A and B are shown apart, each in its own frame.
Chain A
Amino acid sequence: MTQKPKLAVWKFASCDGCQLSLLDCEDELLAVAGAVDIAYFPEATRRMVDGPYDVSLVEGSITTPHDAERIVAIRKNSKKLITIGACATAGGIQALRNFRDVKEWTSLVYAHPEYIDTLAHSSPIAEHVKVDFELRGCPINKMQLVEVLAAFLNQRKPLVPNHSVCVECKLNEQVCVMVTQQTPCLGPVTQAGCGALCPRYLRGCFGCFGPKENPNTASMATQWRTSGASESQIFRAFRGINGYAEAFRLESERSEQRLQPTEQEAK
């Protein structure tokens, strides 16, 4: 019998939610365990087998000098490296620090900031090492994770479309909350993958899966303004979980510039 491919799951700066998606696979978990040798997955088992690994799933962003060294070692020890979640692919919510002075923040938050050894930026894994596939989401969709694993195990392309959330709404035959309710929704600029979860419950999309291919965030912001959204609402929408992803970052910066004069006026 041929040896099963060795799977490793690594954690960087993150909330563990994406790794949990793997454990959350329930019905598919036994199939996953049957298809791969779970060689390193501290969240699930204390059994730790040394590398090299066939597939490494990497959760979290790089936020410390130690992280930056560790990811290089993991890359060397992995045939395929797949990042999972918004932290690993876009820097995550902790990338809000990228827009501010980290030293100032640490001095405000910690009693002994001198103990804190952190980088000025929270950065996605792909800024540090070559990544074979980036799976989006906050958290990732477990069915997409199984699909990506199945694709890598069978040496085919993962079926993870990069079109808008709107397409998922329409394929599910859900009614547009933006057109019917003027609900601020990021669906038209956000990549599909969640199954249009929020619009299904008549909520606007929060952009958890990051910018879609070819996103027109400027038109999106204009549309929000027209529907009565405040500038700070627009600013916060783009500077969220995926705020450091380029398209969302640029739009939040544009919005911030619009915001500043009004803030000054308020003062």
Chain B
Amino acid sequence: MHYRLEASDLEQLLDALKADGYALLGPQRQDNAILYDTLESVADLPQGWTDQQEAGQYKLKRREDAAYFGYVVGPRSWKRVFLPPRKRLWSATQQDGVWSISEEPLPTQKVALIGVRACEIHAIAIQDRVLREGPYPDPYYTTMRAQSLIIAVNCTQAAPTCFCTSMDTGPNATFGFDLSLTELLEPAHCFVVEVGSPKGQALVETLGLPAANDPDQARAQAGVDQARKQIKRTLQRDDVKALLYRNLEHARWDEVASRCLSCANCTMVCPTCFCTEMEDITDLTGDHAERWQRWDSCFHGQFTHVHGGPVRQSTRSRYRQWLTHKLASWEDQFGTTGCVGCGRCIAWCPAGIDLTAEVKAFRESEHTQENNKR
């Protein structure tokens, strides 16, 4: 069952969520990008703006229409909500020789995520397997996930960096949402709404949304099809794991390492990368200590530091670790791929390194070898 929400009534949806006690997070235009941040009202949305993305490039541009969700994805992903960049885990204070440890209280604020893309829902599901469903659930992550509500927005346009169709993660959301919206600009600006949970159903009833008619539903489908058609980047997935495992000593790793800055931007913007570092600090007196968790990256030397130095010293070994984990050993470890095809690592790499091109290079070199044999 699909419903119809007039664009002019979008505020009512936000108001209903607020009334239900949710803090709203959603897209807005900040510092030359569209970022997810605290949302007060519809006026904060990046209406009439879009993003243009290429390898190592991201630019905002005015749209000719009044679309609220007429962009693709920006540098922030939703992982910041569940796995914040920095988080204090506990602090300890010494008084008269006795230490008292206080654990950081868990958050109680419910959050509604507005404008979650299909690939991002898959990314959340991937992180769920690691941080929520694994043998050591992260308490903060688990708490935030339990009190989050997801309003998905189906993609009706794609960026040149997108390859969700290769990863089977988009362009439309098929699970993991409370409500999903498909924005229609013509003949009237409205949203076709799909319900994905009892909470979503309750929202639709609160708002008293009418059913969407067939033409609206067809237009929504056409929008999603349009996005699908726009996607030109591909990553052949079926044998990528075996392909990478067969080529662990390939010269291509040296070639990509000559371009890779090992700056870690790809892992920071990746919606599935979950590695964190523990940082312990004290004050000058030594009477107060804190433990913090912060995002870490397999591109850091410190990441594999053991007695005597880092295990992965070269950029070659770090890039290889990242790519083989993302596309191959992630599957061995968690039963899914670690990539959702959002293209963030391509757009936000200052050197414009494109993992789909790297995978193709391995595949083509094997073809060349095969042909040479014949």
Pick from B31, B58, B80: contact of A174, CB under 8 Å: B31
Which chain B positions have C-beta within 8 A of A161? 300, 302
Does B348 lie within 8 Å of A176, measured CB to CB? yes
- Please tell me if B180 contacts chain A, counting CB pairs below 8 Å: no
Which chain B positions have C-beta within 8 A of A172? 85
In the bound complex, how far is the Cα of B56 from the Cα of A149, in angstroms?
A: 39
**Residues of chain A from 172 to 195 with CB closer than 8 A to chain B in the complex:** 172-176, 178-182, 185, 187-189
- Please tell me if A108 contacts chain B, counting CB pairs below 8 Å: no
User: In the assembled complex, how far is the CB of residue A1 from the closest CB belonging to chain B, in whole angstroms?
Assistant: 14
- Please tell me if B48 contacts chain A, counting CB pairs below 8 Å: no
Residue tally, chain A, CB below 8 Å to B: 46
**Residues of chain A from 192 to 243 with CB closer than 8 A to chain B in the complex:** 202, 213-216, 218-220, 222-223
In the bound complex, how far is the Cα of B57 from the Cα of A211, in angstroms?
A: 24
Does B75 lie within 8 Å of A175, measured CB to CB? yes
User: In the assembled complex, how far is the CB of residue B97 from the closest CB belonging to chain A, in whole angstroms?
Assistant: 14
In the bound complex, how far is the Cα of B265 from the Cα of A223, in angstroms?
A: 15
Does B85 lie within 8 Å of A223, measured CB to CB? no
Report if A164-B35 is in contact (Cβ < 8 Å); known contacts: A35-B285, A179-B350. no
Stretch at the interface among B19-27, B163-171, B274-282: B274-282
**Residues of chain B from 294 to 345 with CB closer than 8 A to chain A in the complex:** 294-295, 297, 300-302, 313-315
In the bound complex, how far is the Cα of B257 from the Cα of A45, in angstroms?
A: 51
Report if A216-B268 is in contact (Cβ < 8 Å); known contacts: A156-B282, A163-B297. no
Pick from A28, A34, A171, A216: contact of B260, CB under 8 Å: A216
Does A164 lie within 8 Å of B80, measured CB to CB? no
User: In the assembled complex, how far is the CB of residue A171 from the closest CB belonging to chain B, in whole angstroms?
Assistant: 4
Does A187 lie within 8 Å of B285, measured CB to CB? no
Give 20 new A-B contacts, CB below 8 A, not counting A163-B302, A188-B261: A34-B285, A150-B281, A156-B282, A161-B302, A163-B297, A167-B295, A167-B300, A170-B75, A170-B85, A173-B85, A175-B35, A180-B31, A187-B263, A202-B31, A214-B313, A216-B262, A219-B260, A220-B261, A223-B261, A223-B350
Ranked 4 nearest A-B pairs via Cβ: A170-B268, A188-B263, A188-B261, A35-B284
